[in-house]
């Protein structure tokens, strides 16, 4: 009988607390830099709700909480980072000074969407193999395992476009999609069908499923008129 009373008391406490928290939290929309969510008012309150406080920050970060207040049951959180998981705490208040809460807070986690890569490849160079081919190499300076780099990646890097063109020629640019290499290490791509004695510009850009990122600074090189290996 004693255990039954304790269980009944705990059940009433949990039910009462649940009834005092915002309910039916829904993620209405997300993008690379915003989260839009809504909720319903707590039930079984003797006083009316004045408004809500929303606190949010990236999960497992040491950043300070960003705090917003509203008297609506919907909010738009903007200026966020891409592909970043945010913890969001929502609490209802009974007065205009937001000092008298209606009960426990509600916590959820939401991840923002991917976008295009925000950083261009670096250290692009060309090693001329012969008068018609060159090995283009580059480095992508971000590490997907580094939390500080994740938002700059923009998303999961699917590969790179290697673009080689001759500005003083009517030749169409040579474009390769490249998947070789490892993030943080050197990538490479061998480009053929070059015209002997021609000056080329080489650029590289990363892409995600959302699109292409910024191209690198052009690297200028000239292939010889004759095969210099002879």
The DSSP-derived string for the chain is -HHHHHHHHHHHHHHHHHHTS-EEEEEEEE-SS-EEEEEE--SS-SS---EEEEEEEETT--PPPEEEEESSSEEEE-SPPTT-EEEEEEEEESSTTS-SBSS--EEEEEEPPP-S-SS--EEEEEEEEETTEEEEEEE----TTSHHHHHHH-S---EEEEEEE-TTS-PPPEEEEE--S-TTSEEEEEE--PPTT-EEEEEEEEEETTEE-PPPPPEEEE--SS-TT-
- Asked if residue 143 is part of any domain, the answer here is yes
Instruction: Return phi, psi of residue 151, to 5°.
Output: -65, -30
| Same domain? 37 vs 130 | no
pLDDT at residue 85 greater than cutoff 70? yes
Residue-number span of the structural domain to which 146 is assigned: 122-222
| Same domain? 74 vs 135 | no
Which of 81, 111, 141 is a domain's end point?
A: 111
* pLDDT tens readout for residues 91-136: 888 776 666 665 667 889 999 998 898 889 999 999 999 999 999 9
**Ranges 73-77, 139-143, 180-184, most confident:** 73-77
| Same domain? 56 vs 131 | no
Closest CA to 149 of 217, 64, 214, 84: 84
Question: pLDDT at position 60, please?
Answer: 83
In percent, the amount of the chain with pLDDT more than 90 equals 46
- Asked if residue 101 is part of any domain, the answer here is yes
- Asked if residue 15 is part of any domain, the answer here is yes
> Where residue 66 sits, what CATH number does that domain have?
2.60.40.10
| Average pLDDT of the chain to the nearest whole number | 82
Q: How big is the CA angle at 131 (ends 126 and 132), to the nearest 5 degrees?
A: 80
| Same domain? 156 vs 55 | no
| Same domain? 126 vs 107 | no
| Same domain? 105 vs 133 | no
Which of 60, 79, 111 is a domain's end point?
A: 111
| Same domain? 98 vs 151 | no
Q: pTM value?
A: 0.69
| Same domain? 149 vs 175 | yes
Average pLDDT rounded to a whole number, residues 206-219: 92
- Asked if residue 228 is part of any domain, the answer here is no
Q: Which of 78-92, 138-152, 204-218 has the lowest mean pLDDT?
A: 138-152
Which of 111, 134, 155 is a domain's end point?
A: 111
| Same domain? 34 vs 103 | yes
* pLDDT tens readout for residues 26-43: 999 999 899 999 998 877
| Same domain? 151 vs 195 | yes
Q: Between the CA of residue 10 and those of 14, 20, 106, what are the distances in Å?
A: 6, 15, 19
The total of structural domains in the chain comes to 2
Question: pLDDT at position 194, please?
Answer: 94
| Same domain? 67 vs 164 | no
- Asked if residue 66 is part of any domain, the answer here is yes
Question: pLDDT at position 2, please?
Answer: 37
**Ranges 56-70, 98-112, 182-196, most confident:** 56-70
- Asked if residue 117 is part of any domain, the answer here is no
| Same domain? 90 vs 142 | no
């Amino acid at each position: 009988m004693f255990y039954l009373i304790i269980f009944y008391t705990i059940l009433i406490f949990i039910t009462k607390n649940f009834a005092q928290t915002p309910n039916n939290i829904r993620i209405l929309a997300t993008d690379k830099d915003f989260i839009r969510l809504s909720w319903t008012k707590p039930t079984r309150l003797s006083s009316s709700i004045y408004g809500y406080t929303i606190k949010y920050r990236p999960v497992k970060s040491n950043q300070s909480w960003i705090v917003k207040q509203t008297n609506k049951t919907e909010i738009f959180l903007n200026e966020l980072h891409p592909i970043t998981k945010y913890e969001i705490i929502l609490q209802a208040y009974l007065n205009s000074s937001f000092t008298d809460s209606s009960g426990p807070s509600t916590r959820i986690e939401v991840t923002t969407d991917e976008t295009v890569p925000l950083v261009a490849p670096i250290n692009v160079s060309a090693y001329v193999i012969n008068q018609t081919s060159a090995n283009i190499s580059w480095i992508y300076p971000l590490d997907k395992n580094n939390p500080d780099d994740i938002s700059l990646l923009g998303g999961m890097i699917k590969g790179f476009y290697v673009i080689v063109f001759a500005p003083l020629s009517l030749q169409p640019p040579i474009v390769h999609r490249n998947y070789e290499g490892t993030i943080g290490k050197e990538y490479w791509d061998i480009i053929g069908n070059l015209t002997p004695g021609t000056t080329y510009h080489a650029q590289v850009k990363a892409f995600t499923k959302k699109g292409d990122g910024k191209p690198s600074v052009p690297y200028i090189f000239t292939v010889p008129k004759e095969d210099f290996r002879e």
